[in-house]
Structure 1
Amino acid sequence: MKQNKYDETDFFSAYKQMPRSVKGLEAAGEWHVLRALLPDVKDKDVLDLGCGFGWHCRYARQEQAHSVTGVDISEKMLEQARKQTDDPAITYIQLPIEDISFAAEQFDVVLSSLALHYIESFADICQKVYECLRPGGSFIFSVEHPLFTARNEQDWHYDDQGKRLHWPVDHYQLEGVRKTTFLTDNVIKYHRTISTYLNDVMEAGFILKTVREPIPSDEMLKQDAGMQDELRRPMFLIIAAEKVKMESFKRGNIFSRFYVLSV
């Protein structure tokens, strides 16, 4: 199911008011971790899946990427991205992530920020990313953490006074659709376990480089007392992987899987 909530007026209006929408990457609690995992993009060709307002696209060009392609399903999101972008080296394409079809070995870096938990078949996307990456290329993405997406409610348990008691986890092993509330009702996400994320990446042929469960920066924790609750449960999962150059590490190669699991 290719849901496009971002083009619904109420949803988009609420999304535009979020701090990360107004202030950009520095207002995103996980950005300091994702940024540290990005490779040197100078003179590289970059693909951003679920580019939204284009913040990561413009960042890549600031870091002297050769070209950047941003893909997003939402016309409204891309309209905002184009308004904020004055750079012929950045191309925005309105397209569901599931429908991407780029040339083999077209990009050096593929990144995605908080978009792939809206995709039904993560394994298919991993395979498409693998094919369009050049040998030695990097795949870095963030998603909502599986402990966050496990329940439809995706919220804390509260006491009678509205105080947050704990973050409940249930139905963790039951992967699939979650009908959630995020800004508005009936937002479709796809829950999958941590092992599924990791195994789908490896099965596509990648070697895992880093797995992180980021927390807000020290500066954010000091500025906003409410951010302390982000230390009580993980909200995001970030995975960095590489398409290796060596022929012996082809997809499905037994030695490749051994290497991945032993580094």
Structure 2
Amino acid sequence: MKQNKYDDKAFFQNYSQMARSVEGLDAAGEWHELQTLLPDLKDKRVLDLGCGFGWHCRYAREQQASSVVGVDLSENMLRRARELTDDPQIEYRQAAIEDIHFEQNQFDVVISSLALHYIEHLHEVYRKINYCLVSGGTFILSVEHPIFTARAEQDWHYDAKGEKVHWPVDHYHEQGQRIANFLDHDVVKYHRTMATHLNELIGAGFIIQKVAESKPSLKMMEQVPGMSDENRRPMFLMIVAMKE
């Protein structure tokens, strides 16, 4: 299933009002950690899958990447990305991540941020990514954490006063489709266990180099109300893998 909620007018309008959509990477709660996982991008050929507004594409060029290709299924996303970009070394292409077809050894680094949990057959995508990376190339991804995706409700358990009691985890080993409410719309996501995330990468020919689970920065906890609750469970999973 190739889902394109971002070309729905109401959904895109809601997304465009999110802090990360307005302020960019510094407003993304996981960026302070994801940034440290990126390799040296100088003179690298970079592919960004699910590039959205192009924030990571432009960051890669700021770090002196030689060229960047950003791929996204949404026409709305790419239109905004092009409006925000003034750089001939960044190319945006409209395509589903499942449909990518790049040449062997075309890229040195592949990035995908918060897009792969929308894909059903992820192992096939991993094989395509492995094919287009050079030997020793790096794949950095972030997805919603399995603790977060296990239940379609994706919400806290509250007491009678409306206070957050705990984050419930259930049906963890029942992998597959979840229909979650995001930005007041039903969105299809796919739940995988931690083991499946890692083993699918290994099966596609990657070596796992580092795994991180998101937690808020001190700055965000000071500035964003309720952000300290993000320490109670990880919302995002980040993995660095290298092509053998």
Q: TM-score, normalised by structure 1?
A: 0.91
1:118–1:189 Cα contact (<8 Å) kept: yes
| Pair 1:79 & 2:79 matched | yes
| Pair 1:150 & 2:185 matched | no
CA distance, structure 1, for counterparts of residue 2 and residue 204 of structure 2: 22
**Where does residue 59 of structure 1 map in the other structure?**
59
Query: Which residue identity lines up with residue 49 of structure 1 in the other structure?
Result: L
CA distance, structure 2, for counterparts of residue 76 and residue 146 of structure 1: 29
Unaligned runs of 5+ in 1: 245-263
Instruction: Report which stretch shifted further, 170-179 or 222-231.
Output: 222-231
Query: Which residue identity lines up with residue 9 of structure 2 in the other structure?
Result: T
Equivalent residues in 2 for 1:220-239 (5 A)?
220-239=220-239
Task: Specify the structure having the higher radius of gyration (Cα).
Answer: 1
Q: RMSD of aligned C-alpha atoms? A: 0.8
1:10–1:184 Cα contact (<8 Å) kept: no
**Where does residue 121 of structure 2 map in the other structure?**
121
CA distance, structure 1, for counterparts of residue 123 and residue 107 of structure 2: 19
Instruction: Report which stretch shifted further, 27-36 or 157-166.
Output: 157-166
**Where does residue 181 of structure 1 map in the other structure?**
181
2:138–2:242 Cα contact (<8 Å) kept: yes
2:11–2:185 Cα contact (<8 Å) kept: no
Q: CA offset at residue 203 of structure 1?
A: 0.8
1:214–1:238 Cα contact (<8 Å) kept: yes
Q: Secondary structure at the match of 1:140?
A: strand
| Pair 1:131 & 2:131 matched | yes
Query: Which residue identity lines up with residue 107 of structure 1 in the other structure?
Result: F
Return structure 1 stretches of 4+ with deviation > 2 angstroms: none
Q: Secondary structure at the match of 1:21?
A: helix
Q: CA offset at residue 160 of structure 1?
A: 2.4
**Where does residue 89 of structure 1 map in the other structure?**
89
Query: Which residue identity lines up with residue 243 of structure 1 in the other structure?
Result: K
Q: CA offset at residue 225 of structure 1?
A: 3.7
Q: Percent identity?
A: 63
Q: CA offset at residue 224 of structure 1?
A: 2.2
Q: CA offset at residue 185 of structure 1?
A: 2.5
**Where does residue 200 of structure 1 map in the other structure?**
200
Q: Write the deviation string for residues 205-259 of structure 1: whole angstroms up to 9, x where unpaired.
A: 1111000002111111122241110011110000001113xxxxxxxxxxxxxxx
2:209–2:242 Cα contact (<8 Å) kept: yes
| Pair 1:172 & 2:168 matched | no
Query: Which residue identity lines up with residue 216 of structure 1 in the other structure?
Result: P
2:207–2:243 Cα contact (<8 Å) kept: yes
Q: Secondary structure at the match of 2:226?
A: helix
Q: Secondary structure at the match of 1:12?
A: helix
Instruction: Report which stretch shifted further, 105-114 or 162-171.
Output: 162-171
Instruction: Report which stretch shifted further, 182-191 or 47-56.
Output: 182-191
Q: Write the deviation string for residues 12-34 of structure 1: whole angstroms up to 9, x where unpaired.
A: 00000000000000001100111
CA distance, structure 2, for counterparts of residue 28 and residue 224 of structure 1: 12
2:45–2:67 Cα contact (<8 Å) kept: yes
CA distance, structure 1, for counterparts of residue 30 and residue 196 of structure 2: 22
Query: Which residue identity lines up with residue 20 of structure 2 in the other structure?
Result: R
**Where does residue 210 of structure 1 map in the other structure?**
210
**Where does residue 99 of structure 1 map in the other structure?**
99
